[in-house]
Every structure is written in structure tokens, then in C-alpha cells.
A and B are shown apart, each in its own frame.
Chain A
């Protein structure tokens, strides 16, 4: 029960461009246990999406390349898996849903065709059985008139319905891990809540682990048990949801939580962390957050802190908390 399904250790994914090498993901550690919902949080450009694409083996290459670390899926290192093995794992063991439901389905094939394709890739089933399974999963994700939708094209569906189809497609082979890369960002708020409910329900019913990649702390609070906070390609804090919201340790996490608007406390200006995320590739010495950090001192600019265990079970990469 406690052995992680997916264990990422020291992952480094670099992009080799004409302007030089860009470490989009630089030393990322996290793990997901069976049936757990893990949140990965961070601003745009912090390496969240590249991390998930690395796990799927879908980093565009060239220019991207995993240059270090391990991705252990049930003990098997996926960074060393060949193309054929990765194809077996994708969709069947680790599935992924994306941010843009409007453009993530192929516009020229019917929904049914795309669902059945996913099923028959990983199961030697006849068309009839695959069709029935597809209808069943569409009902499970709460799509009305499933049989009719099987014969529809993506453009005939709304954004929310398309994201449900994406979830159905990801869940159809009962994967062990579902990576959801900002699954609700492009949807309006009421639909967002429905999709999150659906994912929570699927997580309970099927015991699939979910990695929820988001920049929305509200989503995290709603869904996740544990949270990994990323900044500039590194994990800077990892803790349970309750610890993060009650006692954030890293100044960046503190800033993130402060910048969530509070309904009860009407302010004229919303809080924002000063400065911007450093451009990937513009590596500086010391802590990457130091230039934006109000608590930074000399050591922060000179030495890079490690991700260290804290007394309450969380892990933080910050000289304020590390020795």
C-alpha cells in the first residue's frame, strides 16, 4: 500500500536550443502512492508540464532530452525503457489529460472512433466489446446519450463535454496513474467544479492515483492530499495539504497562498509576489527565488539549498529552514 506507484528521483530534462541549454526541469523529486491525489503547483514556466511530459516520454525531442534522474514506475525506470515499452505504458498504465479540451480531440474522427482506438490499442478486443466498453466509460464520466455521442464529432460538443471525453479516454484502460495537466483551466467555473468532482469520484471508485498539475491553489485544496511546489524547474516544498495551507515554510509558498484572494477580507489591491519567474536557462548562483524573496540573506545568493526533511514531515528547499 505504501510503496509508491510512481517515484521520480532527481529528474533533469534539458532543452538544447540554439541559444544554449535550458534546464526546464532541474532536479525534481516526488512520488505518488496508490490511490493518492498529488498536486504539483507552480507559476507558468516552472517546469510542471515538462515534468509530466517527461514521465509520459513525450518531451519533444529534439530539442528536449531527459539528461538525469530516474522515473520509477512500479520499480521500472522509464527513462531507460525503449519506445515499444513506453507505448505499452502510455494510455494503459499512465494516462494523461491536457489543459485544452477544445483542441485535444482530433477534429476529423468521431468520438467513438477515438475512444475505441484507445481501448483496442491495449486490449485484444473485438469492435463490439470495445464499443460497449466505450459506452460504459462515457456513462461513468457522466456523459448523457452516450450512444449518440459515439457518432458525434468533437466540434459538436461543448468544452466541458470534451474534457469529459478526454477523461473517459484516459480512464478507459484503467490506468494506475492519471496525470491531469491543468484539466480545468480552460473551462468556466461551474464546469470546473463538475470536472473536479468527477475526477475525485473516479479516484475513489477506481483507486487510480492522480497527479494534478495546476497553478490554482483552490483546485489543490479541493482535490489533493499532498502537494509539491515547483519553482524554476526545482521542487522547493513538499507537504500535506493541511500543512501547506496552515504553515507554509518556503517564502515562495507563503507568497502563493497570500496571493489567493480572500472573500472575507476585502482588499483594494491583491497581493502579488514581486518580480517574475526567471527565464529558464538564466541560471544564477544560489537559490533561484532569492532575487524575489524578502527574507533573502547572503547565503541565499551564494549556495543552492537542498530539499531537506522537516520535523512535521514536510520537505523544504530554503536556507531559512535548512541547516
Chain B
């Protein structure tokens, strides 16, 4: 198991190198000169040329890439062209904002989605099953930016139950320690702020939870239906076990592997930064960070931001694979 984990981590290296190469060339294919954009349209040719030289943009591409990789190995993600700050320091608050939102959304999606799927399978063809699966179908087909806007309009503008946007109250900002505000407010004992933070999380969290919730519910239902027909479920019932335990103990653990796969994939997508949702709710997340960097031709931020997102995605996949073995003893990694 340990050797397998190490091997999998080593296998991430070529994936990330490939990823960095693709990003490196793609952003250079975007028209527009960073130096020109930074200095503005009125800047003199000489000023632009000098800035290009300072930024190293005059070097051949392979030299640029080599310098970039050399810096990466020392943990240096480069400096932002726009803010001049080191990206490795700058990126964390944005990433933390996305991480918190994604975990919050995924928590909602798993709790509701898994239970809805279980109950739908348990009472197959009941009204609950029909309603839940109809809602799930609507959920997977819903354009999320539209759902976000409607939520905002209904619950923030009309009813004023939740704030329209942002992570925290501007008048009462959170002192960030970890930048995960739920944790920050709890360790500081600021439960008034915790409440505000949770209220800010609710609408974007619900919008982001919709698709994963719907997919998880459908996957749980079909997987549970298959498991509940199996012989060992009959054995569990023949022992005299309550249906509740037959379902939640004996069936769920067996049915969970495909559900876990879906959770992992969806979590990877959420952590990649849901740009539309983050834009609608002015969420200062990684998606917004990269999106703004593209507008500014901030090459180092785009490169490193995408690399971080890719790293997170493959790490989650690795975690999911390792979790399989924890759930099902028949799965062994050598």
C-alpha cells in the first residue's frame, strides 16, 4: 500500500510536466503582448521593449520554459506581472476561498444526494423515488449560472435572507489565519462572524452543490438497487436484521465505490474553481484569480494557477483510489 502510494505520487510528475507544457504554449497562443497591456496603448515602443526584456519575454520559448521549471523545482511559482508579489504567497487566500466553498457545497451534495439515492432505492417506484429522480434530472440539466442568479434574486434581493455576494461582511472582516474562514472564526471564538461566514457560503454553496448532488443521488440509487438484489443482503435479512441496518450498513458500504468515484471527480471540478459561480457571487476564489490573470495576460499567474488546479485534481483522484481499498477489502494495491 505504501509502495503503491509512492509510485502513484511519482507518476504525478510526468502528468504535471505535460500539463505545464500544454498551458505554457496555450497562453502564448493568446494574442496580445503582456508588456503592451501592462503599459497601456499609449506606451512608447522603447518602454515596451525594455519591459519585455525585464520580464524575460525576449528569450526563446525553451529558455523561458526552462527557467520556469527550474524555479518550480525550488517551490518558486514566479511573481505576478500585475502585483509583483510571489504567486506562491498570493495564491493561497484565493485557493482557500475555493476550497472552503467546494467543501461546503460537497458536504451538502453528499449528505442530501446519498440519502436521497438510498431512500429512492429502498422505496423504489414510490412517490419519493419519482420526485427525487425528477428533481435530480432537473438538477443535472440546470445551467448553474442561471440557478445562481435566480437564487440571488429570490433569496438575497427579494427576501433578503442571505447576502448577495462576497465571503464576509465588509464592516466586520474576519482576521484570517488559515484563510478558511469557518476554521478561523471558530479558533478565534467569533461565533457572530461564523454565522455571517455561513450565510455568505449558503447561496453559492447551494448553487455549486446542485449538479454533484443530482449526479450523486442518481449514482447512489442505481448502485444501491444493484446491491440490494444480492445474496448477502438476503442473508442479512434472514438474520432478522432491521431494514434500516440492512440498507445503511450492509448495502451502503458495498454500493459506495461508484458513488465515491463521482464524488472525487466532482470535487476535482469544484476545486478547479467554478468561474461562473465565483463571478456571480463575487467569490474571491482560484477561478476568479486565473480568470482575472487571463484578462491581464499575467502569464506566470495563469501558468502556476492552472498547475495548482491540476495538481489538486490529480491528488484527489489518488485519494479516491486509496479510499477504494479502505472501503472494499478485496481491492489490494501492490
Contact = CB atoms under 8 A, between A and B. Distances in A.
Given A103-B232, A105-B232, A108-B254, A153 B329 contact: yes
A56 interface: yes
A189 B256 CA distance: 37
Contacts of A91: 238-241
Interface string B228-241: 00111011111111
Interface in A60-118: 86-92, 95-96, 98, 100, 103-109, 117-118
Nearest to A156: B329
Nearest to B328: A108
A182 to B, nearest CB: 12
A122 interface: yes
A91 to B, nearest CB: 4
Interface in A23-40: none
Interface of A: 56, 58, 86-92, 95-96, 98, 100, 103-109, 117-118, 121-122, 153, 155, 166, 169-170
Contacts of B254: 106-108
B240 A88 contact: yes
Shortest Cβ-Cβ A-B pairs, 5 listed: A91-B240, A90-B240, A91-B239, A103-B231, A106-B232
Given A107-B254, A108-B329, 15 more contacts: A58-B238, A87-B240, A90-B238, A91-B238, A92-B240, A98-B235, A98-B238, A106-B250, A107-B328, A117-B239, A117-B241, A121-B239, A122-B240, A155-B329, A155-B330
A161 to B, nearest CB: 16
B231 A90 contact: no
A98 B250 CA distance: 17
Interface string B208-244: 0000000000000000000000111011111111100
A90 B239 contact: yes
A107 B242 contact: no
8 contacts: A56-B238, A87-B240, A88-B240, A98-B235, A107-B330, A108-B253, A118-B239, A153-B330
Contacts of A118: 239
B231 A100 contact: yes
A122 B237 CA distance: 13
Given A103-B231, A106-B254, A96 B238 contact: yes
A155 B232 CA distance: 13
A104 B237 CA distance: 11
A173 to B, nearest CB: 9
Contacts of B15: none
Given A98-B231, A100-B231, A107 B329 contact: yes
Nearest to B241: A121
A78 to B, nearest CB: 13
Interface of B: 230-232, 234-242, 250, 253-254, 327-330
Contact of A169 (B234, B239, B330): B239
Majority SS at the chain A contact face: mixed
A49 to B, nearest CB: 11
A171 B69 CA distance: 66
Contact of A104 (B231, B241, B242, B327): B231
A61 to B, nearest CB: 12
Contacts of A86: 240
B327 A87 contact: no
A166 B232 CA distance: 10
A103 B242 CA distance: 21
B240 A104 contact: no
A122 B239 CA distance: 9
B279 to A, nearest CB: 43
A104 B250 CA distance: 12
Contacts of B330: 107, 153, 155
Contacts of B329: 107-108, 153, 155
Nearest to B232: A106
B236 A106 contact: yes
B334 to A, nearest CB: 16
Contact of A95 (B236, B238, B241, B327): B238
B63 to A, nearest CB: 54
B241 A103 contact: no
Nearest to A88: B240
A86 to B, nearest CB: 8
Nearest to A102: B231
Contacts of B238: 56, 58, 90-91, 95-96, 98, 170
Nearest to B124: A62
Nearest to B329: A153
Contacts of B231: 98, 100, 103-104
Interface centre among A90, A108, A109, A166 (most CB of B within 10 A): A108
Contacts of A98: 231, 234-235, 238
Nearest to B245: A117
Contacts of A121: 239-241
A58 B234 CA distance: 8
A98 B236 CA distance: 12
A122 B240 CA distance: 8
Contacts of B237: 58, 90
Contacts of B230: 103
